[in-house]
Chains A and B, each alone.
Chain A
Amino acid sequence: MAPVLELRGITKRFPGVLANDHIDLALEEGEIHALLGENGAGKTTLMNILYGLYQPDEGDIFVRGQKIQVHSPSDAIAAGVGMVHQHFMLVPVFTVTENVMLGAEELRPGGFLDRKKAADRITRISQQYRLEVDPQSYIKDLPVGVQQRVEIIKLLYREADILIFDEPTAVLTPQEADELFKIMHSLTEQGKSIIFITHKLREVLEVADRITVIRRGKVIGTVAPAEADQNLLASMMVGRDVQLELERSPLKAGEVVLEAENLMLADDRHQVAVEGVSFEVRAGEILGIAGVQGNGQTELIEAVTGLRTPLSGRIRLLGQDITRASPRIVTELGSAHIPEDRQRDGLVLAFPVMDNLILCQYYLEPFARGKVIDWQKALQVANDLIEKFDIRTPNALTPVGSLSGGNQQKVIVARELSRPIRLLVAAQPTRGLDVGSIEYIHRQILKRRDEGVAVLLASTELDEILQLSDRIAVMYRGNIIAVVPSKEATKENIGLLMAGVMPEKIQAGASSGLPIA
């Protein structure tokens, strides 16, 4: 029998990136097929192609042996394909019923909505698949886990039998995730087929019938959970590429520069994002913060740079309490910050390179005399920095938004590293950059470390963390679950920690005096 869904040779190119490289994938009826890969491996691109949000450059899609064309979500829905998006596609001010029926409304004569009929159908579906939900509630009042159920019901309501779950557990508590897995099993028992996109090893082993691993847009292989363990999957996922070894001098850690104690932080939606984290960074060392995106790193970085006020806890910079200090005070104490979202926080894209280079010092000598900015001086300094940091720009007055990503990041690096600093906070410093820029920025960070600057480096790129860090703190669900010295760190054990699994070796190490939060 033909598979329910088959992708053959799907290829998708974005400018400069091969997101999907001849991907083949077959989904059998009634199975949960996990699509495993790191962030940026090409999973979501593939699914967006299947759902009609992107068009593939090459390749074909077959549903039950029939080749289909998917130009829009409507085509996908018509072919029985439904998707639970990572960011829910729900209208917060609508009820469950309204959200579910939207686009496939039950009508009474005259175009009137038949909410009752729809609600009855929703109730039936929710009973059949054990998806408890009150059709009358408003989405905005529902917990995230229930909202996800509504997304699932939306698909079942449209009689989809191929369901794509895009990182469904990213926003769930473990309890909610367990609940979701039960639901997924109950769905497949009743004949639905599921593609489960994730980067979490444990979940895959727990719930999938088959696992396809993709890395850098290519299928690495398909295995059954019985034949696999976490170590195997981790190595398939992250690869064993030979790394460019960076020269680094031996660690000469000095005094404590940055110190955090029992930090409790909320995210923008007022949810607890970091819960009771403590750590310290010493002069001349790099503390790497590893972790899957969304485990509290962003909030942690914002807190130590003054952009987010902690709910509780204490932060000290060079002995000074900066728990509630403004970004300016933190900067003036000698902290530099390479922000995670460089275009949002780090740059004013419409402004020239020059203005961006003085963004944190415009009010200080020599750029400002009183309240008047000395643009000649700024220009001179900007030209120097462009030269010194090898920023490729037509001139200092080019809007920074027209530079390449690598050069934009160099502008930030030049600005932050050109002043005397004691602490460097770098978040995702090389995300989305080309190899040359990555290497350049890595060297710059190492140089500061060797000069005695304390470096706090947050990255979701495991390679980067492993290459640069002296110690590695792994964040998982708002906590630092382990701090591993770099000589004990391997891709495998850090990868497992990032997935929330405590390898035995580390546990042994942990008990031998390593600080564990």
Chain B
Amino acid sequence: MDKKPVNKQDAGKVLLEEISGAAQEQQGKTRIGRILLIPVLAVFTGLVIGGIFIVVTTESVYAAFGQSFGAGLSEALRTVWNSYVALFTGSLGSPTRIITALQSGDPLEVRRAFNPILESLVASTPYIFAGLSVALGFRAGVFNIGAEGQIFIGAATATFVGYAVKGLPAIIHIPLALLAGAAGGAIWGLIPGWLKAKTGGHEVINTIMMNYIAFRLSDWLLTGPMKRPESFNPVSPTILDSAKLPRFFDDPIRFHMGFFIALAIAWVVYWFLFKTTWGFELRTVGSNPFAGRYAGMNVARNTILAMTLAGALAGLAGANEVLGVNHNLAMAFSSGYGFDSIALALLGNSHPLGVVLASLLFGTLRNGATPMQVSLGIPNDIISVLQAVILMFIAAPAIIRTIYRLKQPAQEQPGIHLSMK
């Protein structure tokens, strides 16, 4: 083996690869490919399986197969093609429409044409926060399955600050409301983190319990203390304009500041995890608590810190939705983000950059699903099916390797290290 001291110019590049968990290879070219191979194949296979599922549940395909096999086959392919075209034009916009709109020069038309892709970014934003939450937990060796509850609480606290604290300029009100959201989520993460560190109570069970406590709590808040006075529905008052995250375009485009905050936070998480001593401790304790203890780190404190930060990030997801999109808190507004974020973190290999990319993908799929439902009658729940299948392939890459006859890597990727006990 020859030693190749890495020079300073290469250091950043190699560092990024190292951080993203790629096993080192002799040939530099294949490294990026190896990092992306399994996720890309997982997503692709997920889309194929989703397509098959759509075909199997489409009546016209059965009718066509009744005529002849060829007709059936072409109808099946047509169905899948139409579905995914609808999905992606719904989420990214239709090229023809964009061109016509630009030619017409009508500003409303232009906004409408670009709305889908911007709306996808809006849908991706809470995913980024929530995915970062789970990813940070994974890096620190804790399994935050409670993002859902933390999102709820974060949304509630942000909403409260958003409507109850009056007379502040936006420049103060917005950060304050965001901080309130983060703090709410942080408390919801701190409790199971503390319980794990001090009593050994498993964070998976405790965060699930905390989820349901959060649902009940927000149920109570919305029918009681935080109920909109004039409303019969369980919904909070609308937040003040000074707390709303600024939007960049006129209606109907909802694209708002939150997306950039999410990107900034992703960078902060990256910086925190990989550039600071705090992050180094967190990752060390997460990867090998014994070595962490040996190196003089406080394992319990880091566990609590990790769960608290994870909670804060999820809380920001909730705050973002309230301050940027909904402008009020309603019942069950976040359904599913919590579990989806586990898929996001794994798909993104628990790296902030990966999480952002995975969130963009999931946000796009989510956003395209509703237009697909409207135009083709394919329920948007197909996205959950896709997500589950992708998550399965990411979690059990051996299945992907079997399907595509890939070789087992010589060394398993240093992935997530979780102890169940």
Contact = CB atoms under 8 A, between A and B. Distances in A.
Direct contact between the two chains A and B in their complex (CB within 8 A): yes
A376 interface: yes
A320 interface: no
B391 to A, nearest CB: 22
Interface residues of A, number: 43
B284 A395 contact: no
A150 interface: no
Contact of B277 (A329, A344, A349, A371): A371
A327 B3 contact: no
A392 interface: yes
B294 interface: yes
Contacts of A360: 295-296
A404 B15 CA distance: 22
Interface stretch (A102-110, A351-359, A508-516): A351-359
B277 A359 contact: no
B6 A351 contact: no
Contacts of B11: 375-376, 379
B18 A348 contact: no
B295 to A, nearest CB: 5
B414 A399 contact: yes
B280 interface: yes
A384 to B, nearest CB: 9
A376 B6 contact: no
Interface string A371-402: 11101100100010011000011111111011
Contact of B275 (A326, A337, A373, A402): A373
B421 interface: no
B167 interface: no
Contact of A348 (B8, B23, B284): B284
A348 B288 contact: yes
Interface string B272-300: 00011110110110011011111111000
B416 to A, nearest CB: 10
Contacts of B21: 350
Nearest to A375: B15
A328 B298 CA distance: 10
Contact of B1 (A327, A337, A392): A392
Contacts of B296: 326-329, 331, 360
Contact size range, B: 35 or more
B198 interface: no
A395 B5 contact: yes
Nearest to B297: A328
A351 B3 contact: no
A421 B345 CA distance: 42
Given A372-B276, A394-B24, A344 B290 contact: yes
Interface in A312-339: 326-329, 331, 337, 339
Which of A339, A348, A362 is packed against the most chain B CB atoms within 10 Å?
Answer: A348
Nearest to A399: B414
Contacts of B295: 327-328, 359-360, 362
Interface of B: 1-6, 8, 11, 14-15, 17-18, 21, 23-24, 26, 275-278, 280-281, 283-284, 287-288, 290-297, 411, 414, 417
Given A341-B290, A401-B414, 19 more contacts: A328-B297, A329-B296, A344-B291, A350-B288, A351-B287, A351-B414, A362-B277, A368-B277, A373-B275, A373-B276, A375-B275, A376-B11, A386-B5, A394-B3, A395-B4, A397-B6, A397-B14, A397-B17, A399-B24
26 contacts: A328-B295, A337-B294, A339-B294, A344-B290, A349-B288, A349-B414, A350-B417, A351-B414, A352-B18, A359-B284, A362-B280, A362-B295, A363-B277, A372-B277, A373-B275, A373-B277, A375-B15, A379-B8, A383-B6, A386-B3, A394-B24, A395-B24, A396-B5, A397-B6, A399-B24, A401-B414
